[in-house]
Amino acid sequence: MERSAHIERKTNETDITLKCILDSGDASTITTGIGFFNHMLTLFVMHGRMNIQLNAKGDLEVDDHHTVEDIGICMGKAFNKALGDKSGISRFGQATIPMDEACTAAVVDISGRGCFVYKGDKLTGAIGQYQEELTLEFFQSFAHNALITLHIQQMYGDNRHHIHESIFKAAGLALYRAYSLSEHTGIPSTKGVL
C-alpha cells in the first residue's frame, strides 16, 4: 500500500501544493523560487527515499523566510499524514554523513511529539542569497509538524555549502531509517500510540 499524502496551504504570504510519497526512488519535482533551497530539498528527499512534487510561490520580494518556513510546515504535515497509524515503522533512525571536509550526525524518533535540537556551527551567514539560518527554520517547522523528534549535530566543516549538504543528507537518511517498515507489526511504543 502506498504511503502518500497531498497538502495544500495558501496564505497571504505563500501558496504551496505538495504531494509526498514515502519509499520512493522516483525523481522529485521541486520548485520554490530559491535555488539553493531547491538543491538542499532534493538531497533531503533523495536520501530520505521520498518522492515529492512541490510547487511553492512565496513573497520572495520580502525575503525567503515565509516560503522556507511554510514548506517545512507542509512537508511535515504530509510526512505525518503519509505514515498513517505508524504500524510497523522502525521509529528510530540515525545517520552520520560526511560531505568532503564537513560532517553531520542526525537522530530521529517518530515520537508523536514535535521537537528539534541543533548543535554545531552557528548558521548565520549567507550562501549566495540564501540565509543560512533558514536551514534551521525549515527543520524546526518540519519536525514540529511531522510530530517527530529530530536532533542534528553539525560536527565540523569549513565550506558552508558542504556543511548544509551534510545536514540535509544526514537528516534525510535518518528519517528514512526511522520510517522504514521493520519485521515487527504494530505500534512501536509501550503506550500503544505514537
Strand partners, 117: 151
pLDDT at 191: 79
Asked if the model's pLDDT at residue 123 lies above 90, the reply is yes
What does the pLDDT look like over 46-84, one tens digit per residue?
Answer: 999 999 999 999 999 999 999 999 999 999 999 999 999
Q: What are phi and psi of 121, to 5 degrees?
A: -55, 140
Q: Which amino acid is at 99?
A: M
Domains of the chain (ranges; CATH) run 4-179 (3.30.230.40)
What does the pLDDT look like over 148-192, one tens digit per residue?
Answer: 999 999 999 999 999 999 999 999 999 999 999 988 878 877 777
Structure pTM? 0.95
Q: What are phi and psi of 123, to 5 degrees?
A: -100, 80
More confident call, 144 vs 182: 144
- Taking residues 17-37, report their average pLDDT: 95
